[in-house]
Amino acid sequence: MTVKKKYPVSVRMADWLNYYEYSDEDIKIAMPNEIFQDFRNTFCPNFNFRHKAFAYSFYYLISYLYRNTKYGSITPLKNLYSIHLLEMIYGDRKRVNYITKRLGLLDQLGYTKSENDFPIAVKIENGQLVDFEMFREQSLEFKKAIDVPKNFICKKPLKAFHRTKESTFNDGTFFEYENVHWIDFPIFAKCMSMGTKGFEIFYAYGFLLAFNKFINDKGGVYKAYMTTALNIHTRKTNFLIDKLVSVNFLKLESPNLLKYKIRKSINV
């Protein structure tokens, strides 16, 4: 998969699945519902809707890679370097580097931590995740066998371990599942294959998934609520919903009430 310098390359969904070695056994990722409010409350002049959508997509991808220990299987490892990941999603690293760099915006918000270490396997007890087996714990022989790029950075998804800075135990989205929304990786891959607006569509999908019950209780996709919550223009809201309908992520069930049903998985 090649990457242009200024714009993300539009590729088939299958290419994204193959590139990240997707398997039916991969764990579905739980995203924290508060991410939308946290992003909305972030007072940064550059952090507009497009950049929030990118940050959300980036956080999802690093959560998927971390939880499914792709760092222990995908080669070469440089393909999982955080800089490469943002180029895969956004294309032009310069515009969004302030979000993902070490001590960047996501690090400052407590969503990520830039580390040189990375997970290579999971530790399971009684069918539950308890921890990860990390690269630094391995033998010297094992470490030499893995070609780790110089200054390699793995972005650790902190909300997956601790929901608040005050947490003293693992109560994050890898371990507890209150106030979360679940997203299959094929949904992400499909959105990313849609070109330059793909991560915006993914962000809108995640928002509707997180607040699906509230929206349905109001008799359909409450466009005014979505427009206000995401701080976007009504035209953008209509565009995003139309796109989600066009790829069958939303199904219009009641035209009169604008009642939609959200699709939670797709065939691969």
Domain map (residue ranges) of the chain: 27-181
Residue 130 · residue 123 · CB < 8 Å: yes
> Above 70 in pLDDT, residue 3?
no
Locate 45 and state its tokens. Answer: 């002049």
Calculate the alpha carbon distances from 3 to 9, 88, 104 in Å: 6, 6, 23
Q: Are 58 and 66 in contact (CB under 8 A)?
A: no
Q: Is 156 helix (H, G, I), strand (E, B) or coil?
A: strand
Average pLDDT (105-132) is: 94
- Phi/psi for 175 (5° steps) reads -120, -35
The pLDDT, as a whole number, for residue 84 is 78
155-184 pLDDT, tens digit each: 999 999 999 888 888 999 999 999 999 999
